[in-house]
């Protein structure tokens, strides 16, 4: 009985892949619900698609054959350089995972640490405090796990730390 597989294939090209060529590639793969992207330099890209095959090995071989044939017609200077194939259950588990790690700003850090927001902002000047993983207009966001680990291990002795 066939299984539905999700495949992601990466390609490399010796010439720049244009947006029109990517659209042509996706049109070639239309029967497989494709999505794709091209790197900024146009020399690398990836395509995701769905296909039906009886076994994993067949799905891998079929995905490579399908994409190579489509590349031959749309991006003839490209060839497949990587493949990742998983069944629907594995894809569902992957999609349930958050794309970004849990992040916290000053308000959350203050709440976790039991200090004021002003004191939470001052933590950023202490050696070893986690660097932001993203900076927004409202301020930096740090990985929650890194902040929690730092708070568990920080020196909480009263007074200012000794200077070298």
Average pLDDT rounded to a whole number, residues 60-73: 97
Each residue's pLDDT tens digit, 113-150? 999 999 999 999 998 999 999 999 989 999 999 999 99
What is the model's pLDDT at position 1? Answer: 76
DSSP code of 9? E
β-sheet with 103-104: strand ranges across:
103-104, 139-143, 134-136
Asked if residue 58 lies in contact with residue 20, where contact means CB atoms within 8 angstroms, the answer is no
Model confidence pTM above 0.85? no
Query: 103: left (phi > 0), else alpha (psi -120 to 50), else beta?
Result: beta
What is the model's pLDDT at position 2? Answer: 82
Each residue's pLDDT tens digit, 12-28? 999 999 999 999 999 99
- Cite the beta strand spans of 35-128 per DSSP E: 35-38, 44-53, 78-87, 103-104
What is the model's pLDDT at position 25? Answer: 96
DSSP 128-139: TPPPPSEEETTE
């Amino acid at each position: 009985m066939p299984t539905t597989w999700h495949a992601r294939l990466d390609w490399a090209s010796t010439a720049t892949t244009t947006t029109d060529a990517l659209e042509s590639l996706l049109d070639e793969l239309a029967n497989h619900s494709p999505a794709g992207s091209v790197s900024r330099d146009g020399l690398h890209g990836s395509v995701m698609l769905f296909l039906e095959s009886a076994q994993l090995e067949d799905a891998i071989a079929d995905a490579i054959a399908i994409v190579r044939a489509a590349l031959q017609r749309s991006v003839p200077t490209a060839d497949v350089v990587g493949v990742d194939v998983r069944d629907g259950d594995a894809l569902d588990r992957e999609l349930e995972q958050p794309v970004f790690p849990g992040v916290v700003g000053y308000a959350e850090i203050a709440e976790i640490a039991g200090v004021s927001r002003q004191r939470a902002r001052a933590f950023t000047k202490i050696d070893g405090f986690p660097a932001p993983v993203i900076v927004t207009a409202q301020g930096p966001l740090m990985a929650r796990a890194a902040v929690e680990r730092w708070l568990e291990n920080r020196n909480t002795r009263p007074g200012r730390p000794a200077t070298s």
